[in-house]
Amino acid sequence: MTTFKKLQENTDIHELIKSTFDADLALSGGWGYTKETATIIEALPEGMSLPQLEHMVTTIRAHLEMNITQEKENRYGAINANEREREESNSEGSIFNKITYEVTGIKEALFNAFVKEYKEGYGKEDFDLNTHFKSRQEATLTREVVHYFEVSTLQ
Longest Cα–Cα distance of the chain, Å, equals 63
Output the pLDDT for position 1.
Answer: 61
Output the pLDDT for position 5.
Answer: 87
Provide the residue-wise pLDDT of the chain in tens; the chain has 155 residues: 677 888 988 789 999 999 999 999 999 999 999 999 999 999 999 999 999 999 999 999 999 999 999 999 999 999 999 999 999 999 888 999 999 999 999 999 999 999 999 999 988 989 999 999 999 999 999 999 999 999 999 86
Distant-in-sequence contacts of 41-44, Cβ < 8 A, 24+ apart: 41/149, 41/150, 41/151, 41/153, 41/154, 42/153, 43/153, 43/154, 44/154
Q: Where are the domains of the chain?
A: 13-107+141-154
**CA–CA separation, 85 and 100 (whole Å):** 5
**CA–CA separation, 41 and 153 (whole Å):** 7
Output the pLDDT for position 27.
Answer: 97
